[in-house]
Chain A
Amino acid sequence: MIEQAEVKDRIREYVLEEFAKAKGIMQITDQEVLTKNGIIDSMGIFRLVSFLEETFNVRIGDEEITHDNLESVDAIERLVIAKSKK
């Protein structure tokens, strides 16, 4: 089981390495809206969800793949924590 504090680090690192850097963006804040500046595109969303499911052993339903749940590193962390507690 991954420690809660580690969750955000893992998410931030994944988003940075997998999406942001490949698009020429070298750093992101935890509040940055990832969809607004094109860091994550429509296919990226589903890669991100697979990563979250595998890494944190949670199940994310299609209806939970929403802007509110995935818009920033902070939002993704909230989603993962809420799902892990269930």
Chain B
Amino acid sequence: MAYILQQLLSKSAKAYPEKPAVWARGRSITYRELDEGSNQLAHLLRQRGVQKGDRVGLFFPKCVESIISMLGVLKAGGVYVPLDPQAPADRVGYIIGNCGIQILITSAEGRAALTPETLSTLECCVLTEGEGNGSDLVAWSQLSEFPATYAPAVALVETDLAYILYTSGSTGRPKGVMLTHQNALTFVEWCADEFQVRSEDRLSNHAPLHFDLSVFDVYNTLEAGATVYLITEDLALFPTSLANFIETQGITIWYSVPSALILLLLHGRMTPDKLKSLRIILFAGEVFPMKYLRQLAEISTTSELYNLYGPTETNVCTYYKVERERLAALEHLPIGIACANTECFSVTPEGRLAEKGEAGELYVRGPSVTYGYWADPEKTKKMVVPNHFQENFEEKMYRTGDMVTVGDDGNYYFQGRRDSMIKSRGYRIELGEIENALLSHPGVREAAVLAVPDEIIGNRIRAVVSLHLAGSLGVQELQQYCASRVPKYMIPEMIDLYNELPKTSTGKIDRVKLATESVAVR
């Protein structure tokens, strides 16, 4: 049994050395190449000073080198931090500083996008393409100078960190969720068992690598000795190309946010024939509207459908296997029951366990739960709390912030959020982070950011802003300013300029009033 993630690769590299492990942009590498490349990268990183527990950033568009890099960092004993290749320099710089990344694996283009201040904090960049300079720029071709057949000797245990995923933070800065080998493997082992992933399987990877959906795609592929197909932007945005891709590559397991599946349904020219290779379709990250789920079930006749639920802090913690015979009558899709080796319970505002039908906040305990947020003990204390239902020993549990009820069928049903976090295309977005970005502009007096429900992508983002000096800023200028502070998916699509924001009797911004006012949706 594997207790650290890289053992999944070692096992499959022995069993299937010449089998393709990773495919991306028309290129694939075998298990042997992945194993040897990651060994070499690990030696290179150690030579460059990476020690156990050191964070190494990955900042480049998805390609086969992404997977080599993840495994290479782990084999060096490091902790990888996938960075959104489309994030603004300010945000990437913040993350690099926040978790103390000194070595960055990037492309020449990615490196050029960083600010001089960020560059000055880095000791060296390993470039996935292009040439090195013999000092702080290392070319990928230098990997060949390092041993390929064995990894550096590093003593690791399952409770060591494996990776950090940054998600939106309400105080205006992203927060780094720390995940251990054990956290990841708890989930991977449950998936391997539930979905019976086999070496003949072809898994798609639709989610970006800084998004925790990708953990299944990558590590369950390695666990089974299967092949993962990384879906890049030239495919992801074009539904008919994506539908053809599923058919021609014979994808057997698909995992994505519902909005990606909805676009496929609406514009992919899909037929049951095109999807006949699929045996499992998994979705997570946002609520799947029943109307579209019924359409998916109808067109995808060969596959089992699963609704997976869970925040990055626990990965998937509950699941619901769609019962086709119930679909016609089902009004809301359940998030299901707890995964193996995970316990969930819902707690009322008074702190007792919720009864059947009663709303409560979902709490999670078990080996999948994160230690908390990197360098943020305050935030960690709020979310990863002592299990007061257990008095005999100290134990932590995670409060998801999601309100749920238990239905008559024994399944959990998602009811909404306790706070102002929303989902758009499956991305977690703290509206407060966007408000803080707007308020940091010297010309902005007040800002409120609201979610406008959208059938396909979940939510669109609308901001209402008042200025110190009316007419001093335009909508586009404000969007551009946001673009320098938050990722593209968090930039308000609509911005309304008000002379003054409406207030409640207590003087707070009246969000209810703002939300009910007519919205000019494009």
Q: Using CB atoms and an 8 Å cutoff, list the residues of chain A in contact with chain B.
A: 21-26, 35-38, 40-43, 45-47, 62-63, 65-67, 70-71
Contact = CB atoms under 8 A, between A and B. Distances in A.
A67 B237 CA distance: 8
B491 interface: yes
B238 A38 contact: no
Could you say which of B456, B476, B488, B493 has the most chain A C-beta atoms within 10 Å of its C-beta?
B488
B480 interface: yes
Contact of A21 (B237, B241, B267, B476): B476
B269 interface: yes
Q: State the main secondary structure of chain B at its contact with A.
A: helix
A42 B263 contact: yes
Given A23-B479, A67-B234, A43 B456 contact: yes
A65 B238 contact: yes
Nearest to A40: B237
A67 B235 contact: yes
A36 to B, nearest CB: 6
A38 B235 contact: no
B167 to A, nearest CB: 18
B459 interface: no
B267 A24 contact: no
Counting chain B residues whose Cβ lies within 8 A of the other chain, the interface size class is: 20 to 34
A36 B240 contact: no
B311 interface: no
B237 A35 contact: yes
Interface in B215-247: 233-241
B267 A65 contact: yes
B488 A38 contact: yes
Contacts of B493: 22
Contact of A41 (B269, B479, B488): B488
B260 to A, nearest CB: 8
B275 to A, nearest CB: 16
Contact of A47 (B88, B480, B522): B522
Given A24-B482, A42-B425, A62-B267, 11 more contacts: A21-B476, A22-B480, A22-B493, A41-B488, A41-B489, A42-B236, A42-B237, A42-B260, A47-B522, A66-B241, A67-B241
Interface in B478-499: 479-484, 488-489, 491, 493
21 contacts: A21-B476, A21-B479, A22-B480, A22-B491, A22-B493, A24-B88, A24-B481, A24-B482, A24-B484, A24-B491, A42-B425, A43-B456, A46-B267, A47-B522, A62-B267, A65-B239, A65-B240, A65-B267, A67-B237, A67-B241, A71-B234
Task: Give the interface centre of B88, B234, B235 by most chain A CB atoms within 10 Å.
Answer: B234
A53 B522 CA distance: 17
